[in-house]
Amino acid sequence: MVFILVPLLICLAMGTASGDGSNCGKGYIVDLGEGKYLMHLEGSPYEMGYQHGCLAGEQVERMTKEFVKSVLVGYDIPEDLIPELLKLAKEIAKKNEKYIPSEFIEEMRGIADGAKDAGYNVEYEDVLLLNMGFDIILSVAYPIATPIVAWQDRKGIACDGFVAMDEATSDGRVLMGRSFMFNPEVFHEVAMLIEQYPEKGHRFVSVSAPGFVGVTAAMSSAGIAIGMDMVPAMDTKPFVSGMGCLLTARQVVQYADELSDAINLVKGSKRGVPWLYIVGDGQGKEKGGAVLEVSADKFAVRYLDYKYPNWAMYYDLPRQIEDKDDLVVVANHYIVPEMYLTISHAVNDSLWRYETLTSLILDSYGKIDVEKGKELVDYLHPPNYGYYGTDENIPVPATRTLFDLTNLELWSLYGMYTDPWVHWKLEPESQAAGLDKADS
């Protein structure tokens, strides 16, 4: 009985908040129905972290223990080697901690403390690894695996996205589709919306899982949205991951006021691993979108009106298919020719998905509304193309999300393919925030 009461008393001591479900300080859980939830966090970095761990300690423990292990198992790593590899990965994460803004470190410490006080086995180092693990693993794996084309295709390195606006959409609004295609183990059972009202920067909502301070798909009250796709390339820095893609995306969604801010934050970040970031802006003066093609040392931007250079036609490189000035599509390979100096290879699966999704979008050009946008971002829904088989009674491999950046709304499919889409509207800000309030 004491074991149960202690974490509850700690949460109550931090205050109460209105909302359906559990409360902890200004944080609370909202029951959205159909087994879906939103976790609202508010306050200083540590306070938001503590609320996070206090409210979702069990899920944080599962993500930091079971999910991390499942990722390694998914890469065919023998189970008896995993404990030592996790120990090494935590040491690498600690060495790269210096690249992380102090506010994110405080938030991660808060998550660990909140979860521990709620009775769960979570340490700060576990949360740190969860947020940096993708980049740590890939910084070592890419130099080894990139030349092995068969390995890449077999592993199905898969994510998709698009930004459409003006003539591409039915009413000119800015829509961004983000398909985060990853290992569904554990994630599909605990995924939720996480809405944050930080003391500094913009409020935002992410489609995520407990334990993440970084984001895989998120939208801010400034109308900025971001996601990222894997892209195998040799231009990596083994063991030097920077703060990683998830925390970089978090910095963007919290602090970017305009599309150019988002681009500059990614460009100025310490990078050790290649990534493709898709960014949309539906509220700023620079309304639009772009795909940021990056590696450890190289950086290129493919805006909506990007034109594939004529000189590159003479080379056997993947070409841009979308030829509209208000549309950009991304899968898991570079399009900007100069980025192939990183020694990258476009796997067949990525090429097929890019061609298929782009063709579907172009077929719907001028008619893309919310329902069509959801259909497009979920184009691989079973039994379509046989990509995930014919039975839709299976877990969604992570998340499928459509952001309406003009109206600050999102729709997301996660959990099971048979589940309903979750809808949420982010409330506009009542006061100015953004880059001028960023923590250096």
pLDDT digits (tens, 9 = 90+) for 163-196: 999 999 999 999 999 999 887 789 999 999 999 9
Smallest Cα–Cα separation from 131: which of 225, 246, 301?
A: 246
Residue 146 has pLDDT above 90, yes or no: no
Please tell me the predicted confidence (pLDDT) of residue 182: 81
pLDDT at 308: 96
Find, among 178, 188, 262, the residue nearest to 216 by Cα.
178
Helix (H) or strand (E) holding 72: helix 68-74
Does a structural domain hold residue 320?
A: yes
Give a yes or no: residue 393 inside a domain. yes
* C-alpha span between 375 and 360 (Å, rounded): 10
333 three-state secondary structure: coil
Residue 230 to residue 211: CA distance in whole angstroms: 21
| pLDDT score at 438 | 46
Please check the confidence at residue 155 and state whether its pLDDT lies above 90. Answer: no
Mind listing the pLDDT tens digit for each residue in 245-293? 999 999 999 999 999 999 999 999 999 999 999 999 999 899 999 999 9
pLDDT at 75: 66
| Model pLDDT, residue 138 | 87
pLDDT at 83: 84
Within 8 A by CB and 6+ apart from 128, the residues are: 90, 93, 94, 97, 108
The rounded percent of the chain whose pLDDT value lies above 70 is 89
Is residue 310 within 8 A of residue 209, CB to CB? The reply is no
Environment class of 50 (CB within 10 Å of its CB; exposed 0-12, middle 13-18, buried 19+): buried
CATH number of 347's domain:
3.60.60.10
Q: Which residue has the higher pLDDT, 31 or 9?
A: 31
- Distances 343 to 138, 255, 278, 286, 317 between C-alpha atoms, Å: 15, 32, 21, 32, 12
**Three-state DSSP class for residue 401:** strand
Question: Is 298 within the bounds of a domain?
Answer: yes
Looking at every residue in the chain, the average pLDDT score rounds to 90
In a domain, 67, yes or no: no
Structure tokens at 48: 């938001």
Instruction: Determine the Cα–Cα distance for residues 111 and 134; give it in Å rounded to an integer.
Output: 19
Worst-scoring range by mean pLDDT, 229-238, 271-280, 328-337?
229-238
Model pLDDT for residues 295-320, shown as the tens digit of each residue:
999 999 999 999 999 999 999 999 99
* pLDDT, position 196: 98
Query: Strand pairing of 299-303 and 327-330?
Result: unpaired
Residue 215 lies in a domain: no
Position 334 pLDDT exceeds 90 = yes
Tell me what the mean pLDDT of segment 67-96 comes to. Answer: 84
Which helix (H) or strand (E) segment holds residue 329: the answer is: strand 327-330
Residue with tokens 């995993």: 82
Cα separation of 291 and 273, whole Å? 16
Give yes or no for residue 5 having a pLDDT over 50.
no
196 domain residue, yes or no: no
Model pLDDT, residue 158 = 78
Q: How confident is the model at residue 72 (pLDDT cuts 50, 70, 90)?
A: confident
Q: Is the pLDDT of residue 25 over 90?
A: yes
Distances (CA, A) of 409 to 73, 163, 340, 403, 425: 36, 15, 36, 6, 4
Q: Which of 228, 222, 234, 300 is nearest to 261 (CA)?
A: 222
Give the pLDDT confidence score for residue 183 in this predicted structure.
78
Q: Does the pLDDT of residue 79 top 60, yes or no?
A: yes
Summarize the confidence of residues 385-396 as an average pLDDT: 95
Averaged over 46-59, what is the pLDDT?
A: 98
Cα separation, 41 vs 101, in Å, equals 19
Q: Flag whether 120 is in a domain.
A: no
C-alpha distances out from residue 297 to 93, 118, 275, 290, 423, Å:
20, 43, 11, 19, 38
Give the integer Cα–Cα distance in Å for 345 and 153: 11
In the predicted structure, residue 436 carries a pLDDT above the cut 60? no
Range 171-196 burial, b when 16+ CB lie within 10 A, else e? eebbbbbbbbbbbbbbbbbbbbbbbb
**Residues with Cβ < 8 Å from 255, sequence gap 6 or more?**
201, 202, 261, 265, 434, 435, 437, 438
- Integer Cα distance of 320 and 315 in angstroms: 13
Mean pLDDT value across residues 383-390:
95
Integer Cα distance of 421 and 401 in angstroms = 9
Contact 400, 409 (CB under 8 A): no
CA–centroid distance for 357 within its chain: 20
- Residue 140: the pLDDT is 82
Looking at residue 161, its pLDDT comes to 98
Q: Percent of the chain scored above 90 by pLDDT?
A: 78
Residue 132 has pLDDT above 50, yes or no: yes
Confidence check: pLDDT of 1 > 50: no
pLDDT of residue 437: 45
Nearest CA among 92, 91, 96 for reference residue 242: 96
Is the full-model pTM beyond 0.85? yes
Residue 339 located in a structural domain: yes
- The amino acid sitting at 276 is L
> CA–CA separation, 197 vs 45, rounded Å?
10
* Domain of residue 302, residue span: 160-179+223-244+257-425
Cβ neighbours of 144 (radius 10 Å): 11
Q: How many structural domains does the chain have?
A: 1
